[in-house]
């Protein structure tokens, strides 16, 4: 079969193992780690879905090799905990049965022990062990490891490697980046030792060499070993790319694959986990440079979800393997779609950090665009319906489209009505904001899926009780959405005012100075976009905080961008709009003018309860989904639309 991606889809051999192509699933934390740190059944399903979707390798993350000095609540692997070895064997089997290579990441947090503990009191009571005595930036004291402790940790890497091989894992990734223990030894910023483990590069790599040697001795000469490293630490005092190249060169004789990531959790979370504001493939240059200095294959990672970009990276010699993490949460079947030539159906990661925010919030996994994530054992397939029903979906936004696609996949006859002339709902408004374009593309992808599944789409068609009576559906899914709130301020209907939902239709009329009224997520992101275009932007919010509706991972980087680019006015209530700008009442009750040629109204959304209430008793089965219940986010809309369709019997 002809393919547009011959280099990406070519097999690669590491040690004695052949991988079916060059798209690998990067380590992502397990879902239900048991009290005794074994993988639970949800964890097995979590990793299996990536294998089922076609990844060449699936890496289980993170396995703590020395719990005595690393107290994080992550996976353990030993022969003393009942059921532990078996649980890992089941995970490896689940990955292998779909043709993927099961891999596992070996980790030691070093002076960041307890990172994943939800018990903060216990976390604070842990000893933090690192290369040297010192104090972390957050004030936590760090104890330097003794040589005896170092030797015991090295031994544990080897012992655990032998058990991992026994469990059925066919590759081991040794985590040597991101500020964890091996990286701490490699880094001149962390490592202040004066013995043979500190000082010169030769000394700083000693611990890594001992660890890799212990793993190699345990697994044998042809078993693939992968080193994950930061190509550069990307903070002042850390090692740079030139030294990253020297580190890779000095360690390559002990490994089969050099996995080049970036940064350090402590100093650059958003270099390690690229936000929507960063370009795709932002870290590829690190792998490309390191590849010039080593003879072993090199992997790259970092916001790569376009098969054409992947092909170019491999074909041009920048890297030999593409790792994806969040991209394979958004669409686990991305590799299979590339192989089948269906790349146009890929659901792209939004880089919204929903997945990473869910862990500290609820202890589970969730993805904004994939309702299966974290819930794989509840069913990885859309189950066929026992009887074909006529399903009418009112509303062509995210929730309605997801419901229509899922109902059609179950074998129902689906009609989707959208009162406007285009599908996508509120996602249409994202097409003019560069870093949110993939949200707009989500609507296009869902529309393509709907048409492919045979959904009958009727545009410019409002659903009324009379319409439902005429259609006589067995099931009615109400996804009638929400409407923008426009406060009744004098002048708000002027030509210099643009409602944020309509910005994509009126971006050319926005002046070079802008006042954004409303400091929620939509207003903040619009303000950042306008400022990045070179406009002078003022952001007005009547509350004392910005973007409370933003998740805890995305919000810090959003606030950083706001601080860099936008002038903020908290505690300011809008009074009236004039040609000069927006008049407000400040926190002291004084009227002040916030100057701007254009006013962007972004004060929120109101659920369309009128239409929902009029239709809620119109069919034998009626389900409300998405913003018509309560304006929220894409995650809620996708989840509700998906499950509403599953409930039709």
The pLDDT of 592-619, averaged and rounded, is 96
Contact 527, 566 (CB under 8 A): yes
CATH of 390-484+607-646 among 3.10.290.20, 3.40.50.720, 3.40.50.2000, 3.40.50.300: 3.40.50.720
Contacts for 80-86: CB closer than 8 Å, 24+ residues apart: 81/36, 81/37, 81/38, 83/38, 84/36, 84/37, 84/38, 85/163, 85/166, 85/167
> What is the model's pLDDT at position 119?
63
On the 0-12 / 13-18 / 19+ scale of CB atoms within 10 A, 96 is middle
Q: Which helix H or strand E contains 173, and what residues bound it?
A: strand 171-176
- Confidence at 116, pLDDT banded by 50, 70, 90: low
How far, in Å, CA of 589 to CA of 275, rounded? Answer: 38
User: Over the Cα atoms of the chain, what is R_g?
Assistant: 27
The domain ranges of the chain are 12-378, 390-484+607-646, 497-603
> What is the model's pLDDT at position 1?
66
> What is the model's pLDDT at position 636?
97
* Count helices and strands in the chain by DSSP H and E runs: 22, 28
Q: Give me 580's structure tokens.
A: 């000069």
DSSP string, 136-171: -TTS-EEEEPPHHHHHHHHHHHHHHHHHHHHHT--E
pLDDT at residue 125 is higher than 80: no
How far, in Å, CA of 304 to CA of 115, rounded? Answer: 27
pLDDT, tens only, 323-332:
999 999 999 9
pLDDT, tens only, 434-450:
999 999 999 999 999 99
Provide CB contacts within 8 A for 67, sequence distance 6+: 37, 76
> What is the model's pLDDT at position 65?
95
pLDDT at residue 132 is higher than 80: yes
pLDDT at residue 404 is higher than 90: yes
Return the bridge partners of 299, or none: 259, 321
> Beta strands of 372-455 (E only): which ranges?
390-394, 413-418
The pLDDT of 58-79, averaged and rounded, is 91
Q: Give me 193's structure tokens.
A: 């030792």
> What is the model's pLDDT at position 266?
74
In this predicted model, which residue has the larger pLDDT, 205 or 124? 205
For residue 390, which of 455, 465, 467, 461 has the smallest C-alpha distance? 455
The half-sphere exposure of 289 on its side-chain side, counting CA atoms within 13 A, is 17
In this predicted model, which residue has the larger pLDDT, 481 or 271? 481
The half-sphere exposure of 445 on its side-chain side, counting CA atoms within 13 A, is 18
Provide CB contacts within 8 A for 40, sequence distance 6+: 30, 31, 32, 33, 34, 87
> What is the model's pLDDT at position 591?
97
In this predicted model, which residue has the larger pLDDT, 583 or 122? 583
Q: Give, to the nearest 10 degrees, the angle between helix 398-409 and helix 634-646.
A: 30
180-184-188 Cα angle (round to 5): 150
Contact 22, 300 (CB under 8 A): no
On the 0-12 / 13-18 / 19+ scale of CB atoms within 10 A, 470 is exposed
The pLDDT of 607-614, averaged and rounded, is 96
How far, in Å, CA of 73 to CA of 35, rounded? Answer: 9
- Confidence at 117, pLDDT banded by 50, 70, 90: low
The values of phi and psi at residue 287, to 5°, are -65, -40
How far, in Å, CA of 623 to CA of 453, rounded? Answer: 21
On the 0-12 / 13-18 / 19+ scale of CB atoms within 10 A, 536 is middle
Work out whether the CA dihedral 57, 60, 65, 71 comes out positive or negative.
positive
Considering the chain, what is the average pLDDT of its residues?
A: 95
CB atoms within 10 A of CB 341: 13
**If you search the block for the tokens 């402790």, which residue do you land on?**
149
How far, in Å, CA of 639 to CA of 57, rounded? Answer: 28
pLDDT, tens only, 545-562:
999 999 999 999 999 999
> What is the model's pLDDT at position 434?
93
pLDDT at residue 228 is higher than 80: yes
How far, in Å, CA of 279 to CA of 273, rounded? Answer: 12
pLDDT at residue 25 is higher than 90: yes
pLDDT at residue 33 is higher than 70: yes
3-state helix, strand, coil in the chain (%, to 5): 40, 20, 40
How far, in Å, CA of 448 to CA of 455, rounded? Answer: 10
For residue 637, which of 378, 409, 352 has the smallest C-alpha distance? 352
Contact 617, 632 (CB under 8 A): no
How far, in Å, CA of 289 to CA of 292, rounded? Answer: 5
How far, in Å, CA of 14 to CA of 12, rounded? Answer: 7
Return the bridge partners of 23, or none: 322
> What is the model's pLDDT at position 115?
63
Report DSSP state, residue 430.
Answer: G
Helices of type H across 168-229: 181-186, 201-204, 206-219
- Confidence at 122, pLDDT banded by 50, 70, 90: low
What kind of fold does domain 497-603 have according to CATH? FAD/NAD(P)-binding domain (3.50.50)
Q: Give me 375's structure tokens.
A: 């819930």
**Sheet order of strands, 497-499 included:** 497-499, 598-601, 513-517, 536-541, 567-570
For residue 417, which of 463, 452, 453, 476 has the smallest C-alpha distance? 463
How far, in Å, CA of 502 to CA of 510, rounded? Answer: 12
Q: Which helix H or strand E contains 569, and what residues bound it?
A: strand 567-570
- Confidence at 124, pLDDT banded by 50, 70, 90: low
Contact 519, 559 (CB under 8 A): no
Q: Give me 560's structure tokens.
A: 């950083």
DSSP string, 426-476: GGGGGGGSGGGHHHHHHHHHHHHHHHHTT-EEEES----HHHHHHH--SEE
Q: Kind of pairing, strands 134-135 and 141-144? A: antiparallel
Contact 480, 616 (CB under 8 A): no
Q: What CATH homologous superfamily does 12-378 map to?
A: Aldolase class I (3.20.20.70)
pLDDT at residue 118 is higher than 80: no
For residue 219, which of 426, 18, 15, 498 has the smallest C-alpha distance? 15
State whether residue 590 is helix, strand or coil: coil
Q: Which helix H or strand E contains 127, and what residues bound it?
A: none
How far, in Å, CA of 649 to CA of 647, rounded? Answer: 6
């Amino acid at each position: 079969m002809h393919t547009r991606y011959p280099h990406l889809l070519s097999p690669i051999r590491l040690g004695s193992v052949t991988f079916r192509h060059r798209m690998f699933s990067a380590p992502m934390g397990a879902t239900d780690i048991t009290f005794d740190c074994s993988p639970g059944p949800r964890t097995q399903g979590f990793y299996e879905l990536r294998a089922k979707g076609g990844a060449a390798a699936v890496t289980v993350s993170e396995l703590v090799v020395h719990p005595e000095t690393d107290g994080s609540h992550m996976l353990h692997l030993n022969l003393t905990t009942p059921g532990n070895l078996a649980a890992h064997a089941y995970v490896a089997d689940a990955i292998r049965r779909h043709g993927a290579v099961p891999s596992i990441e070996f980790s030691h947090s070093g002076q960041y022990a307890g990172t994943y503990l939800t018990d903060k009191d216990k976390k604070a009571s842990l000893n933090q062990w690192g290369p040297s005595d010192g104090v972390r930036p957050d004030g936590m004291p760090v104890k330097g490891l003794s040589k005896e402790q170092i030797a015991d940790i090295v031994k544990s890497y080897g012992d655990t490697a032998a058990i991992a091989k026994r469990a059925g894992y066919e590759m081991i990734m040794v985590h040597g980046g991101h500020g964890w223990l091996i990286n701490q030894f490699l880094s001149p910023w962390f490592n202040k030792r004066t013995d043979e483990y500190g000082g010169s590069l030769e000394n700083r790599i000693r611990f890594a060499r001992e660890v890799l040697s212990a793993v190699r001795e345990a697994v044998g000469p042809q078993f693939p070993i992968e080193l994950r490293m930061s190509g550069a630490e990307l903070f002042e005092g850390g090692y740079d790319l030139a030294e990253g190249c020297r580190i890779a060169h000095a360690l390559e004789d002990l490994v089969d694959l050099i996995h080049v990531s970036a940064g350090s959790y402590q100093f650059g979370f958003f270099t390690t986990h690229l936000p929507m504001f960063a370009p795709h493939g932002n870290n590829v240059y690190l792998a490309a440079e390191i590849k010039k200095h080593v003879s072993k294959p090199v992997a790259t990672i970092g916001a790569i979800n376009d098969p054409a970009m992947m092909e170019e990276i491999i074909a041009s010699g920048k890297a030999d393997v593409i790792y994806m993490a969040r991209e394979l949460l958004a669409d686990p079947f991305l590799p299979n779609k590339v192989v089948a030539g269906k790349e146009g159906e890929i659901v792209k990661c939004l880089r919204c950090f929903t997945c990473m925010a869910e862990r500290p919030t609820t202890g589970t996994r969730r993805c904004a665009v994939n309702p299966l994530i974290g819930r794989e054992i509840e069913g990885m397939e859309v189950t066929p319906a026992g009887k074909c029903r006529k399903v009418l979906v009112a509303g062509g936004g995210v929730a309605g489209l997801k419901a229509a696609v899922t109902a059609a996949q179950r074998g129902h006859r689906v009609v989707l009505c959208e009162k406007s002339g285009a599908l996508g709902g509120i996602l249409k408004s994202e097409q003019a904001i560069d870093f949110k374009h993939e949200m707009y593309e989500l609507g296009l992808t869902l529309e393509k899926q709907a048409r492919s599944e045979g959904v009958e789409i009727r545009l410019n068609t409002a659903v009324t009780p009379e319409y439902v009576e005429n259609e006589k559906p067995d099931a009615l899914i109400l996804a009638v959405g929400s409407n923008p709130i426009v406060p009744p301020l004098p002048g708000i209907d002027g030509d210099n005012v643009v409602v944020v939902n309509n910005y994509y239709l009126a971006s050319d009329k926005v002046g070079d100075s802008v006042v954004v009224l409303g400091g929620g997520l939509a207003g903040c992101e619009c303000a950042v976009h306008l400022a990045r275009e070179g406009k002078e932007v003022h952001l007005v919010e009547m509350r004392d905080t910005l973007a409370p509706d933003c998740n805890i991972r995305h919000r810090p980087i959003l606030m950083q961008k706001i601080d860099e680019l936008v002038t903020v006015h908290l505690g300011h209530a809008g009074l009236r709009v004039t040609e000069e700008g927006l008049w407000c009442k400040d926190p002291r009750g004084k009227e002040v003018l916030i100057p701007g040629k254009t006013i962007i109204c972004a004060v929120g959304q109101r659920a369309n309860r009128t239409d929902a209430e009029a239709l809620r008793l119109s069919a034998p089965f009626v389900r409300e989904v998405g913003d018509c219940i309560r304006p929220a986010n894409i995650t809620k809309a996708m989840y509700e639309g998906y499950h509403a369709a599953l409930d039709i019997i």
